[in-house]
Structure 1
Amino acid sequence: MTSPEQPGESGKTSEPAYADRSYRSAPAMVGGALLLGIGLWMGGDALFRGGGRTPWTAAAALLLGVPLVVAFTLRPAVFANDDRMRIRNPFRTVVVPWAAVESLRATYSTELVTRGGAKYQLWAVPVSMRQRKLNARSGGKVLVGAESTIHELRTLAEQNAVRPTAKGEPEIRWAYEVIAPALLGLVALVVLLATG
């Protein structure tokens, strides 16, 4: 998913605006869509048919629940291009240039370790213990699931760490678009339940 390269002022092409590769968990996305559907159906019913304080409580619960479901199921993704990897986790986004990557590993979770020793989990690349056992039995010859993704990301890191545009420090941005509505919903729900 790259945007077409546009010539810059100097006549050279600019870097793509989007990542070349993306990694997401399909089961998490399907589960998230189902949870959202059920939650919106039940919450919508309580909003429009409920009496008394029920619509307000349903609205507060939806304001809390919808961002959290989106954060943990639909939001996680890993994007990789020639210069960096962007890790979008439930509550923050971390951009790590390839030169800052020390290692990528899949144990009980998938982790990226930077040269400075910081660790970041890759929520979008879940580790299946069953697939890890299959990989161990095959002696590492058959890469499945997270193992194949980690192998591909390690290859990208090794090949691109020497690029001048792949240098720099990791950058972290908190996902306030998820945190703020969830906190607002939590406060509203607590107030409604405490005063009910």
Structure 2
Amino acid sequence: MTSPTPPAEPTYADRSFRSPAGIGGGVLLLLLIGWIGGDAVVRGAGRVPWLALAGLLTVVPLVAAFTLRPVVYANDQRIRIRNPFRTITVPWTEAAVLRAGYSSELLTEDGAKFQLWAVPVSLGKRKKAARRQARQSADDPYGRTSVHADVRDSRPRMAPADQTMADLRELMERAKTGAGAAAQPSASSETSVSVRWAYELIAPAVVGLVLLVVLLATG
């Protein structure tokens, strides 16, 4: 007689937050660097191809780290912050404050602070959103909405970074109050803050920089 198969543990899909402008800028930069560096490798004479290769090995990982890599993943149990050179995983039970001043930050219960590179703060967009809200308040001082108006246009609009942080704070509050999780974290779930360094980007950049310095010093 076979024992019954235990029910699978519930899974929680991650929501991802990242900067479209950062991704677009990173792709353009990588294309430009690849074009210039590739041309130097193919057409360069003497030590130029080697210098170009060392430069590519140094610059490409750095550009990818600061533009394509940053992203924030969040679900009902934890937030995972992938910054240029580190990935920080924080269970919501260990998170204390999410705030967006001049930069987006997460503060933990033990006082540690981590920046959210994937959620850049734009003061210009924040001022634009504030002016839009002020115009809406002036047009409808009593909070009434015309029957012909689009309800979506009547809701306050925040700057993208502020909206993202508001969504993350909602997830954190739901997790802390127990409304967002249907079950307690399993034994395999992380219960403390963990930090992992992105050695896959750091190592080639360091090697490229060393090669570049050696080539320039021996030239």
Structure-2 separation of matches of 1:108 and 1:47: 41
How many Å apart are 1:136 and its aligned residue?
4.3
Structure-1 separation of matches of 2:34 and 2:110: 43
**RMSD of Structure 2 on Structure 1 (CA):** 1.8
Residues 57-96 of structure 1: pairs in structure 2 closer than 5 A: 57-96=51-90
How many Å apart are 1:135 and its aligned residue?
4.2
Structure 2 residue 67 is the aligned partner of structure 1 residue 44 = no
**Over 4 Å off, 4+ runs:** none
Unaligned runs of 5+ in 2: 135-154
Structure 2 residue 164 is the aligned partner of structure 1 residue 156 = no
Q: Pick from 124, 128, 131 the counterpart of residue 122 of structure 2.
A: 128
Structure-1 separation of matches of 2:125 and 2:156: 13
Structure-2 separation of matches of 1:176 and 1:25: 23
Residues 97-112 of structure 1: pairs in structure 2 closer than 5 A: 97-112=91-106
Structure-1 separation of matches of 2:200 and 2:167: 31
Structure-2 separation of matches of 1:128 and 1:57: 37
How many Å apart are 1:14 and its aligned residue?
4.8
Residues 11-22 of structure 1: pairs in structure 2 closer than 5 A: 11-16=7-12, 19-22=13-16
8 A Cα contact 1:99 1:167, kept in partner: no
Structure-1 separation of matches of 2:36 and 2:94: 46
In structure 2, the residue matched to 1:3 is none
TM-score norm. by structure 2 comes to: 0.80
- Greater shift in the superposed pair: 26-35 or 167-176: 167-176
Structure-1 separation of matches of 2:198 and 2:97: 25
One-letter amino acid of the structure 1 residue matched with residue 157 of structure 2: V
Structure-2 separation of matches of 1:130 and 1:22: 24
Q: Pick from 10, 25, 41 the counterpart of residue 6 of structure 2.
A: 10
- Greater shift in the superposed pair: 184-193 or 125-134: 125-134
TM-score norm. by structure 1 comes to: 0.89
